[in-house]
Amino acid sequence: MSVGGDPRPRAVVPYGTEAERRVAAATVRAHLVGGGLLAYPTETVYGLGGLLSDEGLTSLAALKARPRDKPFLLLLRDRSEAGALSWTPAAELLADSFWPGPLTLILDDPEGAFPAGARADDGGVAIRVSPHPAVRDLLEVAGGPLTSTSANRPGERPARSVEDLSWLAESRAGELLVLDAGRLPEAHPSTIVDCRGRPRLIRPGAIEEGRIRSALADIDGDYDARAGSGRDEERAGTTFNLLFVCTGNTCRSPMAEGVTRALLAERGWGPVAVTSAGVAAAVGAPASAGALRVAAGQGIDLADHRARQLSRERVHWADLILAMGPAHVEAVHHLGGGDRVDLLTSFASEGAEERAIQDPFGGSDAAYEETYLTLRRAIENALERLAPILAP
């Protein structure tokens, strides 16, 4: 089947259903290994790409009439395929909040692990994890990252169907395999955020800027996302980073985070960063209804909270990690927390009391109220211990 009357027919392969993708798998794999390019559906628009190789990058640049020094973004199966990149806390948080999804992150490639066609002159590499089932299956067939760029001419409307790809008939960039999943629904392209240093919105898109700012609120207030260098910290003006940890990051640790922010504001202790995470978080879940109601009754708004997963990067970021129970302390130890982690009750009482903070999840508002009051008392005592280093 030809596209747009191309005298050199390009194959169009049905790729909209799981069964169609299974049938096409061997053909797609052989095409990619042979250096061929694909037009394929994503959750936003049709894209163009191929394997991360010099041959594939050269062909893709020719197809898009794009200078080789302007890199292509990469689609990944998961975050592990970008392990060589420098993950800042902001990047970690955004990936936890919006991946898989229409969010492209730009990270630094300090070791030059990715080829020039995917890496900018300043070392940046753009990556995304797509939720589209066709992309997931395609990446499994490819066995690794694929390059990606929108399948339209610069300045023209995004391609949402095979019919929109007719301009490719004019290309002389070699064979192209078109994976047809039908017409895609109207959607914005992916949002692009540069996470090197202070997070910066590069291109608005499917994820609104307000959601990005909300997700970053706990680490992107008046300072840069910390990347492990003293210069970053000095420029940011922060002196102390505090992390609360519970199980799901929807009840205890969000309330602890909210209480701490309120108490810090009362004291005027500005240069302190506070966040929370869960050892088994349903990433992106809101605070529980009980936590929302009880906190709101105390003047603390948790409406914008979204659950975050505890990670090695978050543990590394924190100067002090206060956990709700012994299992959470152990989880932090496994991620390199060392002597920076303690039970909240133990730290607050200088070792006189060692008990877990009651988990109110699924309980009554009275249970949430009791947990809230326990948290507040413990945090007030913890801040008294920290006063010598945190008070202005």
H/E stretch holding 320 reads strand 320-323
Which of these is catalytic: 246, 251, 308, 314? 246
Active site residue 359: yes
Are 162 and 14 contacting, i.e. CB atoms less than 8 angstroms apart?
no
Query: Using a CB cutoff of 8 Å and minimum separation of 24, what contacts does 216-224 make?
Result: 216/90, 216/93, 216/94, 217/304, 218/93, 218/257, 218/273, 218/274, 218/275, 218/276, 219/89, 219/90, 219/93, 219/273, 219/275, 219/317, 220/90, 221/273, 222/270, 223/198, 223/273, 224/197, 224/198
Active site residue 246: yes
DSSP string, 158-205: PP-SGGGGGGGGG--S--EEEEE--PPPP-PPPEEEE-SSS-EEEE--
Sign for the CA dihedral angle at 351, 246, 287, 216 comes to: positive
Which of these is catalytic: 252, 306, 308, 314? 252
Active site residue 365: no
Which of these is catalytic: 6, 304, 359, 365? 359
Q: Catalytic residue numbers? A: 246, 252, 359
